[in-house]
Amino acid sequence: FQYRCLVFPPVNFTLTVSALAQVLLQWKPNPNQEQKNYTIRYDVKILSPVPEEYDTEKTHSIQTAALHNGFSAHVRTLLLHNDLQIRSDWVKEKLPPPPGAPETSVTNLSCVTRISISSTVSLHCTWLPGQEAPEDTKYFLFYRYEMYTEECQDYIKDKWNRNTECRFSVTHIDPEEVDNLIVIHINGSSKYAAIKPFQRLFNQNAIEKVNVPRNVTVFLEQNDLLVTWEKPISPFPKECFEYEFYLFNLKSGNKQILKIPTNDFRLRIDVTSRYSIQIRANHHICCTRGFWSDWSEIIYVGQNKLENSTVWILSVLCVSTCCMFLLVAVMCKTNHIRSKLFPPIPTPSNKFRDPFPNNYERARTCTSETETEFGSFAEDLYCSALDDSVF
Ligand SMILES: *[C@@H]1O[C@H](CO)[C@@H](O)[C@H](O)[C@H]1NC(C)=O
Ligand SMILES: *[C@@H]1O[C@H](CO)[C@@H](O)[C@H](O)[C@H]1NC(C)=O
Ligand SMILES: *[C@@H]1O[C@H](CO)[C@@H](O)[C@H](O)[C@H]1NC(C)=O
Ligand SMILES: *[C@@H]1O[C@H](CO)[C@@H](O)[C@H](O)[C@H]1NC(C)=O
């Protein structure tokens, strides 16, 4: 083919780690390549860790990838002339995996972000030490968000004093960004083995623990249940959220979970039943779904709950009144006897000697018996007040 010999592979292809989990691919045009009227582009093929192919007119490219198992890529020249596309041979380059003994890198890494009311993002990660990691292994966690990298300062340790959890209460993660990557890098050190680093990329929205929906309000309108609520704390507008509505009929034991795309909801219910209601939120449409929020606090609606709570309040009132009287009676008896035995100045050593058996009797009768008992306690209170005013 007449052009075949005119297309030469690029030269000086290099791979450089430019940040955590980031590789800079660079190459130069082949000096033998004639600069004629045709277009020159470059095909880039990433082989590992995640295969990908694309072409570019530039002579460099930046890739974000977990590098703990190395990185390998190919590049070639692509000549475009009219309808013709002619390709050179591939040039290959690879980064070896970083050194470290097998099975010493962390496993089961998971991370969660949360958005605070002041629109800062916190990050919490947990992991397990590698199976072959010596007991003295010390792990270090770093996160990178765009060009910002930070090491964890707040670790939580397992029983061998190895770091297995890390918290950043404030990060440089931008809560308004959509589907940006958070890079996590965990390396370690030990006296007995080289610890293999581990890296993982998380989509910032996919690991967000969404906040709970706020201000859930419930109305009953004849046979309809009306529920409204506010979107969770988040920079995203309310259209970005969907909700799960959990309705539990305490009379029949029926459970329902309904998916709801709006901030309110109307449902025909059985008004003779008592219901418990909870709502949780997640974002979608605007970005990748995150972790469902916790359920909102339980709200009860319906008849039975009212009756029950009235009974409950009454019994609490009854018990507390009873205990009040008992307390007063104990104080009264103590004062009464004391003032009779030692009219002028009672000595502290005698203070509690006599009344105790008497009081225990009272304690038993109080909880089980009727109001006539309270009458006599009240008299004691009255007489004690008199005694006090006399002395
Ligand atoms: C190359 O481009 C120039 C200007 O665009 C034009 O004058 C010339 O004829 C072209 N040569 C060829 C071989 O196409
Ligand atoms: C760790 O991850 C593995 C594989 O994903 C899983 O089988 C195992 O149950 C996890 N261990 C713990 C303690 O979560
Ligand atoms: C861990 O990684 C950080 C960031 O790349 C590096 O600065 C540090 O020296 C590494 N520590 C060990 C023990 O390898
Ligand atoms: C929730 O209700 C409280 C009190 O009624 C109010 O101050 C607050 O602004 C409400 N929150 C939202 C998000 O509307």
Give the CATH number of the domain where residue 66 resides: 2.60.40.10
Range of the domain at 285: 214-301
Q: At residue 3, does pLDDT exceed 60? A: no
Evaluate whether 77 touches 33 at the Cβ level (below 8 Å). yes
> Could you give the residue ranges of the DSSP H alpha helices within the chain?
303-341, 355-368, 371-390
Torsion over CA: 71, 74, 75, 80 (sign):
negative
371 inside domain: yes
237 inside domain: yes
Q: Are residues 44 and 127 in the same domain?
A: no
Q: Calculate how far, in angstroms, residue 161's C-alpha sits from the geometric centre of ligand 2.
A: 21
Cα-based torsion angle of the residue sequence 328, 329, 332, 334 in order, rounded to the nearest 10 degrees: -120
* Residue of 212, 230, 231, 296 with the most ligand 4 atoms within 8 Å of its CB, for mutation: 230
Q: Are residues 219 and 243 in the same domain?
A: yes
Q: Are residues 316 and 265 in the same domain?
A: no
Q: Calculate how far, in angstroms, residue 343's C-alpha sits from the geometric centre of ligand 4.
A: 62
Q: What is residue 13's predicted lDDT score, i.e. its pLDDT?
A: 98
Confidence of residue 97 (pLDDT cuts 50, 70, 90): very high
Q: Does the C-beta of 60 come closer than 6 Å to ligand 4?
A: no
Confidence of residue 256 (pLDDT cuts 50, 70, 90): very high
102 inside domain: no
Q: Are residues 269 and 297 in the same domain?
A: yes
Q: Does the C-beta of 140 come closer than 6 Å to ligand 3?
A: yes
Q: What is residue 322's predicted lDDT score, i.e. its pLDDT?
A: 66
Q: At residue 250, does pLDDT exceed 90? A: yes
Q: Does the C-beta of 108 come closer than 6 Å to ligand 2?
A: yes
Both ends of the chain: CA-CA distance in Å? Answer: 125
* 233/119 Cα distance (integer angstroms): 8
* 214/175 Cα distance (integer angstroms): 19
Residue with tokens 């530039």: 58
pLDDT tens, 14-40? 999 999 999 999 999 999 887 777 889
Q: Are residues 295 and 311 in the same domain?
A: no
Q: Does the C-beta of 189 come closer than 6 Å to ligand 3?
A: yes
Q: What is residue 305's predicted lDDT score, i.e. its pLDDT?
A: 45
Backbone phi, psi, residue 50, to 5°: -120, 115
Bond into 49 cis (ω within 30): yes
112 inside domain: yes
Q: Does the C-beta of 230 come closer than 6 Å to ligand 4?
A: yes
Evaluate whether 209 touches 114 at the Cβ level (below 8 Å). yes
Residue type, 67: L
Q: Calculate how far, in angstroms, residue 108's C-alpha sits from the geometric centre of ligand 2.
A: 6
Q: Are residues 125 and 162 in the same domain?
A: yes
Q: Calculate how far, in angstroms, residue 106's C-alpha sits from the geometric centre of ligand 2.
A: 12
pLDDT tens, 339-361? 655 555 544 444 444 444 444 44
Q: What is residue 381's predicted lDDT score, i.e. its pLDDT?
A: 41
Residue type, 168: F
Q: Looking at residues 115-139, what average pLDDT do you find?
A: 96
* 380/373 Cα distance (integer angstroms): 11
pLDDT tens, 211-241? 999 999 999 988 899 999 999 999 999 999 9
Backbone phi, psi, residue 82, to 5°: 50, -120
Q: What is residue 317's predicted lDDT score, i.e. its pLDDT?
A: 77
Measured from the Cα of 149, ligand 3's closest atom is 4
* Residue 181: strand pairing partners: 203
100 inside domain: no
Residue type, 383: C
Q: Does the C-beta of 149 come closer than 6 Å to ligand 3?
A: no
* 312/370 Cα distance (integer angstroms): 19
* Residue of 20, 136, 140 with the most ligand 3 atoms within 8 Å of its CB, for mutation: 140
Instruction: Report the domain count for the chain.
Output: 4
**DSSP result, 167-203:** EESS-S--TT-SS-EEEEEEEEE-SSSPBPPEEEEEE
pTM higher than 0.95, yes or no?
Answer: no
Q: Calculate how far, in angstroms, residue 37's C-alpha sits from the geometric centre of ligand 1.
A: 6
Q: Which residue has the higher pLDDT, 355 or 11?
A: 11
235 inside domain: yes
228 inside domain: yes
Q: What is residue 81's predicted lDDT score, i.e. its pLDDT?
A: 84
Q: What is residue 365's predicted lDDT score, i.e. its pLDDT?
A: 39
* Nearest bound ligand to the CA of residue 231: 4
* Nearest bound ligand to the CA of residue 129: 2
- The percent of residues above 90 in pLDDT, for the chain, comes to 68
237: left (phi over 0), alpha (psi -120 to 50) or beta: beta
With H, G, I as helix, E, B as strand and everything else as coil, classify residue 324.
Answer: helix
CA nearest ligand 2 atom 12, residue: 108
* Nearest bound ligand to the CA of residue 230: 4
CA dist 125 to 60, 108, 160, Å?
A: 33, 10, 19
CA nearest ligand 2 atom 5, residue: 108
pLDDT tens, 29-77? 999 887 777 889 999 999 999 999 999 999 999 999 999 999 999 999 9
Evaluate whether 7 touches 53 at the Cβ level (below 8 Å). no
Q: Are residues 218 and 182 in the same domain?
A: no
What DSSP character marks residue 40?
A: E
Question: Last residue of a domain, which of 146, 178, 203?
Answer: 203
Sheet strands (E) in 222-332: 224-230, 241-249, 255-260, 264-268, 275-283, 299-301
379 inside domain: yes
* 52/45 Cα distance (integer angstroms): 6
